[in-house]
Amino acid sequence: MLDKLGKIWDFNSSIAVDSRMFREDIMGSLAHVAMLARQGIITREDGEAIRQGLEGILPDIESGKLVIDPGAEDIHSFIEAELTERLSALGSGEAGKRLHTGRSRNDQVATDLRLYLRGRCEQVLAALHALIEALEHQRRLYHGAVMPGYTHLQRAQPILYAQHLLAYQEMLRRDINRIQDAIRRLNISPLGSGAMAGTGYPIDRGFTAQMLGFDGYCASTLDGVSDRDFCLELASALSIIMVHLSRLGEEIILWCSWEFGFLELDDAYTTGSSMMPQKKNPDVAELIRGKAGRVFGDLIALLTLMKGLPLAYNKDMQDDKEAIFDAFDTVESCLNAAIPMIKAMRPKPERMREAAAGGFINATDCADYLVGKGMPFREAYQVAAQLVALCMEEGFTLETLPIERYKSASALFEDDIHAFIALEACVKRRNQ
């Protein structure tokens, strides 16, 4: 027996982590006891007493009337002990002891975890949709704003601010698809797998799966209790979300700098310096960027945890919850911080356009103009490059370079060249 007052007991206990699954544990037990009574494994009277007891425990925990004992081994044993104690006070103590009939802690834990993560997935999906809408809000407000697009962090071609944000919306839509796809594999019931080899009682696994909203139940009882690939898949999807949030955060940080000056964040999402009064630091964006590494670490922890485990259940797997819970907590906190920050951003279209004009990012269009007049592209490329060099030397942009200079570079240039290479025209010509 483990010493309940000793360090080994604390080391073995998981109540500090799994107590958040109390709702799911009660849901799973309600489905299990309904099945036991339906199958005649326990009496209907005992089943009804257990049901009423569990339904009384749930609101008491939610309201704080019943405090989860931090000295309990885990949430499952805490709820079962509380149920037995309550039913004993009513003269039905034996009924509480029948709850665990035909069930192991192994399939109970696996069921609770799937139920809990299914709910967390829905929360993340809702936050992803909200972030997409926040980006759409920005796109609608500043749809016509022209900015430089970049490759290698060098000004490349003119694009719309709305087009830039659309790229992140597409990333987030794929994130949604990944989570939705992972839910399909997550949403299979392990209940009835027992410790590993099922149970000798005439249980109905399909009934409990249906009651709990699962799409079916695990074909292999060993697999049902011993794999956590749904955690690995979700942690991977969450890590990809954080890659996208980190990239978006990095661009916001760059755009808020004096060197770019493309946008301003609301004061609610920045802080001043403790020493330098002129500073307005993009702390929220920086924290989002930094927390990506934490979620990546959770994924690596889970992969490492599972990589060498023989079938079936091993105690190592108790540590799965801390990593996957942290990944969900971190991603949700970052999404919930990003949504209002994005919505309140104030772009500076004039500065964006100034940077676009000063970067000669319509040089490709200048070359395309000549190609349209019959000049081979490689030759047109050289003419455009010479014009850019001339502009840099004499302080012009391609938009302000006099028409005479164009015509001296090539007789194919006509008076419509300035209209052709106007940044807005360049953007409009392309399929956005």
- E strands in 288-413: 346-347
List the single range of 45-59, 182-196, 292-306, 307-321 with lowest mean pLDDT.
307-321
Q: Is 76 a catalytic residue?
A: no
pLDDT tens by residue, 171-226: 999 999 999 999 999 999 999 999 999 999 999 999 999 999 999 999 999 999 99
Same domain, 166 and 279: yes
Structural domain boundaries, residue 96: 7-101
Confidence of residue 290 (pLDDT cuts 50, 70, 90): very high
Most confident of 129-133, 406-410, 421-425: 129-133
Q: CA 39 to CA 101: how far, in whole Å?
A: 12
Confidence of residue 351 (pLDDT cuts 50, 70, 90): very high
Q: CA 15 to CA 421: how far, in whole Å?
A: 66
CATH of the domain at 425: 1.10.40.30
Catalytic residue among 19, 92, 104, 152: 152
Q: Is 273 a catalytic residue?
A: yes
61 is a domain residue: yes
Which helix (H) or strand (E) element contains residue 304? Answer: helix 283-306
Three-state SS at 309: coil
Cα separations (Å) of 38 from 182, 210, 370? Answer: 32, 14, 81
pLDDT above 80: residue 371: yes
The number of residues making up the chain comes to 432
Task: Give pLDDT, residue 92.
Answer: 81
Three-state SS at 155: strand
Same domain, 129 and 91: no
Spell out the residues 6+ positions from residue 53 whose beta carbon is closer than 8 angstroms to its own: 83, 86, 87, 95, 96
Confidence of residue 156 (pLDDT cuts 50, 70, 90): confident
Mean pLDDT of the chain: 93
2 is a domain residue: no
Same domain, 266 and 307: yes
Q: CA 313 to CA 149: how far, in whole Å?
A: 52
Same domain, 130 and 246: yes
- The arithmetic mean of pLDDT across residues 272-277, rounded, is 55
Beta-strand pair 146-151/263-264: unpaired
pLDDT tens by residue, 62-107: 999 999 999 999 999 999 999 999 999 988 878 989 999 999 999 9
Same domain, 123 and 76: no
Same domain, 220 and 308: yes
Q: CA 86 to CA 131: how far, in whole Å?
A: 45
> Could you tell me if 147 and 158 are in contact, meaning their C-beta atoms sit under 8 angstroms apart?
yes
Hey, what are 341's tokens? Answer: 């920050």
Alpha helices per DSSP H over 64-199 = 75-89, 93-96, 105-141, 161-186
208 is a domain residue: no
Q: CA 95 to CA 101: how far, in whole Å?
A: 11
CATH of the domain at 236: 1.20.200.10
Give percent of the chain with pLDDT exceeding 90. Answer: 84
Hey, what are 424's tokens? Answer: 């807005």
Same domain, 187 and 62: no
Catalytic residue among 143, 257, 273, 408: 273
* CA torsion angle 206 316 105 13 (round to 10): -140
Q: Which residue did the predictor score with more confidence, 395 or 275? A: 395
Type of residue found at 342: I
pLDDT above 70: residue 5: no
φ/ψ of 331, rounded to 5, equals -65, -45
- The arithmetic mean of pLDDT across residues 126-153, rounded, is 95
Cα separations (Å) of 19 from 16, 86, 213, 242, 317? Answer: 6, 20, 22, 26, 16
Confidence of residue 277 (pLDDT cuts 50, 70, 90): very low
Q: CA 130 to CA 336: how far, in whole Å?
A: 9
Task: Give pLDDT, residue 316.
Answer: 87
Which residue, of 53, 85, 101, is where some domain finishes?
101
Spell out the residues 6+ positions from residue 198 whose beta carbon is closer than 8 angstroms to its own: 192, 221
List the single range of 11-15, 341-345, 370-374, 415-419 with lowest mean pLDDT.
11-15
pLDDT above 60: residue 274: no
Confidence (pTM):
0.91
1 is a domain residue: no
Q: Which residue did the predictor score with more confidence, 237 or 312? A: 237
List the single range of 249-253, 266-270, 355-359, 397-401 with lowest mean pLDDT.
355-359
DSSP state of 6: S
Same domain, 46 and 134: no
49 is a domain residue: yes
